[in-house]
Structure 1
Amino acid sequence: QLAAALPAGTGVLSMQNGISNAAVAAQAGAGLVVLPGMVPYNVAELGPGAYHRGTAGRLVAQRHDVLDGWPPVFEAAGVPLDLVDDARPIQWGKLLLNLNNPVNALSGLPLRAELMERGYRRCFAALMEEALGVLARAGIAPAQVAALPPGKLLKVLRLPSPVFRIVAARMLKIDAKARSSMADDLTLGRRTEVDALCGEVVRLAQAHGMQAPRNAKMVQLLDVWPRKPEQLSPARMSEALGL
């Protein structure tokens, strides 16, 4: 639709979570300059036309001539945009954090409340640890997009909750209303983006002769939701992931 409506050479930012969306969009929109980007903050839809930004951060996009002159416009609009030469490490760094999205969606809780449950944090950490092993095999070094590098974040996530509350005070600066977009999708009975997150880890693992069973399990759990909606307790989710 964009290719039909826009002049050839128009820049289009693909700001979706995941890794492959810009490539898919480029195939669908021949003639457009599709560039990958990343949204670091949480946005929750509180109602029709009401969107709530619950965390902080700056937009990131792949540097290209079509974006020359645009950063000041984004800055003036209150959504600052940083341009980078290679967005792929940042996309993978964000994907690692997004592995909490299916955990949050299946918990039925707002993000902050879910992160205060150690059982859910252990599930998130298990998914991230599995993904880091796959990335290491693939020779991909994810960028640090959170306050802590991924390895240290794993240790923090597994801390007892009273200690986690202190050590991760910056991470917990999340609006009480914030939740993952995947949770919104479940509420509305829509297909989720789990295949672009956990599914991407599974495909990368397979491409390098590995398995990613925990991320594969999360894809399965989200895929059956429309037919069997069921929120999972920390214990049940941990059991499903083999923890």
Structure 2
Amino acid sequence: MHKRPLEILIFGAGAVGSTFGWRLAQNPFVRLSAVCRSNYTSVKTNGIHLRTTLWGNGSFRPHRVVKAVSDVQNVAFDYVVCANKLTPSDAVSFAEAIRPAVRPTTTLVSVQNGINVERPLKHMFEGNTILSAICYASCQQPLPGQVQQLTQIRPFAFAIGTYHSGSTDTQSENNKLEKLVSLDSKFKAIKDVNTERWTKMMFNGSLNPVSALTGLNSHQLLQDSPSLTLAHRLAEEIYEVASRSGANLPADSVSRTISCLQSPAPIVPSMLQDARDGRQMEVEALCGNIWRQADAVGVSVPAVKATYDALTSMNQKIGIPRQYTFESDPHTPVADLSTDLASETSRRASKHLLYDVQPSITPVAA
């Protein structure tokens, strides 16, 4: 029996954060707070509405909806869930942003994409328990406060484990993990966070970037040979980095990754969602951290670095009108630009060359 409500804060109530929070809020002893940004007004007024294939449809209103962590700094949170996207401006600052909500007894949960994403939390909150959650459900927020989950690449939604940081009190950490996992039947406890992160990274570091470059969803990628070739090459390089980094991945991990494209419903990866909506893509978390880890363990990853360069160039243009074209042809649509960029990336990667051509881009006239 819980003597008091289990206080949980969701930092970043986007599609994934809203889905995770919704499942937690189904428990009557959980008191959920949410830090919202662009969807603050909608969530504050109308709550969050979800359509999902894993759990059915539903809606909920967080107990507290705030714009900043400082608005709830007096609450003794048991868990702080970081579900924010790791764009260049957020990669380090998010740990500082959640500081007002963190006490020595607070458990931190990273539900963020990428590898090594827990390090900022470990650096700032060395004495706290840190859990790492890997999302296998494809979630979208087409409108503020309106979330859809149409498909998933595993039978469960979130794999959650302890981010081992040298703590001697492993029983306490395991108890906190078990308590969180018990809150939903689609949460799964795992023992090897490193391997699980790299397993998801096989998908996120290959199919996600290629989808963003080409503008194609998972089913469309299957029909596009050059894009599929690039995705396969990226998965091969990531597999080598993962293996050298201590991950125990199956020998057929590359083929398993590509087979995810055959999901019943087409997957629109997060990078493609961001590119379509004119938002910064998580290039550092999903590409940059891979090649930095590759350098650390001595693995050559020319395709990863080429793709990173191409996506960084695209990211630099986000914030101005969403459609871009080559200066030499003012009528080229955005899809053609992405395809050309991906084709050049694929060609250079196949020859172990870095992408060193930065095409001049200007916005399409409104």
Task: Mark the CA change 1:172 to 1:152 in structure 2 (over 3 Å): closer, same or farther.
Answer: closer
SS at match of 2:311: helix
Q: Does residue 69 of structure 1 match 2:179? A: yes
Residue of structure 2 aligned with 1:208, choices 279, 289, 297: 297
Residue of structure 1 aligned with 2:196, choices 80, 84, 90: 90
SS at match of 1:112: helix
Tell me how far apart the structure 2 counterparts of residues 223 and 194 of structure 1 sit (CA, whole Å): 7
Could you tell me how far 1:24 is from its partner in structure 2? 1.4
- Map residues 1-243 of structure 1 onto 2, 5 A cutoff: 1-29=97-125, 32-56=128-152, 57=154, 58=156, 59-63=158-162, 64-75=174-185, 80-99=186-205, 100-142=207-249, 149-153=252-256, 157=258, 168=259, 171-176=261-266, 178-227=267-316, 229=324, 230-233=337-340, 235-242=343-350
Task: Mark the CA change 1:173 to 1:3 in structure 2 (over 3 Å): closer, same or farther.
Answer: same
Write out per-residue CA displacement over residues 73-105 of structure 1, whole angstroms, 9 at most, x where no aligned residue: 222xxxx11112221101001101112111001
SS at match of 2:112: coil
Task: Mark the CA change 1:188 to 1:151 in structure 2 (over 3 Å): closer, same or farther.
Answer: closer
Could you tell me how far 1:218 is from its partner in structure 2? 1.0
Tell me how far apart the structure 1 counterparts of residues 189 and 211 of structure 2 sit (CA, whole Å): 30
* Amino acid aligned to 1:73: L
Could you tell me how far 1:151 is from its partner in structure 2? 4.3
SS at match of 1:221: helix
Tell me how far apart the structure 2 counterparts of residues 227 and 15 of structure 1 sit (CA, whole Å): 25
Do the aligned residues in 1 keep the contact of 2:240 with 2:299 (CA within 8 Å)?
Answer: no
Tell me how far apart the structure 2 counterparts of residues 41 and 241 of structure 1 sit (CA, whole Å): 30
List gaps (5 residues or longer) in structure 2: 1-96, 163-173, 318-323, 325-336, 352-366
SS at match of 1:69: helix
Structure with greater proportional strand content? 2
Tell me how far apart the structure 2 counterparts of residues 101 and 22 of structure 1 sit (CA, whole Å): 21
* Amino acid aligned to 1:14: S
Tell me how far apart the structure 1 counterparts of residues 240 and 127 of structure 2 sit (CA, whole Å): 37
Task: Mark the CA change 1:149 to 1:107 in structure 2 (over 3 Å): closer, same or farther.
Answer: same
Tell me how far apart the structure 1 counterparts of residues 241 and 315 of structure 2 sit (CA, whole Å): 29
Tell me how far apart the structure 1 counterparts of residues 220 and 145 of structure 2 sit (CA, whole Å): 25
Could you tell me how far 1:30 is from its partner in structure 2? 5.4
Task: Mark the CA change 1:152 to 1:103 in structure 2 (over 3 Å): closer, same or farther.
Answer: closer
* Amino acid aligned to 1:85: K
Tell me how far apart the structure 2 counterparts of residues 69 and 210 of structure 1 sit (CA, whole Å): 39
Task: Mark the CA change 1:52 to 1:149 in structure 2 (over 3 Å): closer, same or farther.
Answer: farther
Do the aligned residues in 2 keep the contact of 1:11 with 1:67 (CA within 8 Å)?
Answer: no
Task: Mark the CA change 1:240 to 1:232 in structure 2 (over 3 Å): closer, same or farther.
Answer: farther
Could you tell me how far 1:109 is from its partner in structure 2? 2.0
Tell me how far apart the structure 2 counterparts of residues 117 and 54 of structure 1 sit (CA, whole Å): 23
* Amino acid aligned to 2:253: P
TM-score by length of 2: 0.54
TM-score by length of 1: 0.79
Residue-pair matches, total: 221
Tell me how far apart the structure 1 counterparts of residues 280 and 343 of structure 2 sit (CA, whole Å): 25
Structure with greater proportional helix content? 1
